[in-house]
Structure 1
Amino acid sequence: MDKDQFPFLDSDDPHFQHARALSVSVGAIRRAQGKCSPNDFPVGSLEWHFAIEEFAGDVLRTLMGETEGIDVQVGERPFD
């Protein structure tokens, strides 16, 4: 794919850089724990969807400062 189609991939926006650093950090921690990554599966496969959900849960737990054992349901709105 042409880089011009995705200009945000080289973004200097600090928010993008923080999000990218968080993603890379969570990915590295998951890999060290022996957990799979969404990149391990074909996009759209059942395994990919499960990996995306687990990865997103880890990102949310990291952002919320929660510890292990907390079950965050994707799509839930706990602050309403």
Structure 2
Amino acid sequence: MNKDQFPFLDSDDPHFQHARALSLSVGAIRRAQGKSSPNDFPVGSLEWHFAIEDFAGDVLQALMGETENTDIQVGERRRD
């Protein structure tokens, strides 16, 4: 891989580093649990879409704790 093509891979931005660590951690946990990874399937395939959705659920669980039976509305703001 050429670093000139993907300069963000060496980003020193702390937010990027935290997101990368979270992604790697969730990926490692999923692999240990025997779950598939989006990288296991061709991009755009039906299996890839299911794996992306499942991976995103695991990321939300890692960030927020237990998400089962929780109604999460993406893209809308809460009005308190």
TM range, normalised to the smaller chain?
A: 0.7 to 0.9
Q: Aligned-residue CA RMSD in angstroms?
A: 2.2
Cα deviations by residue, 1:13-35 (Å, 9 ceiling, x for unpaired): 11111100000000011111110
Figure out how many residues of one structure are paired with residues of the other and give that number.
79
Runs of 4+ in 1 over 3 A off after TM superposition: 69-80
Larger radius of gyration: 2
Identity %: 77
1:65 counterpart letter in structure 2: G
1:79 counterpart letter in structure 2: R
Structure 1 residue ranges without an equivalent (≥5): none
Structure 2 residue ranges without an equivalent (≥5): none
Q: CA deviation at 1:75?
A: 3.9
- The answer to whether the aligner puts 1:18 opposite 2:27 as a matched pair is no
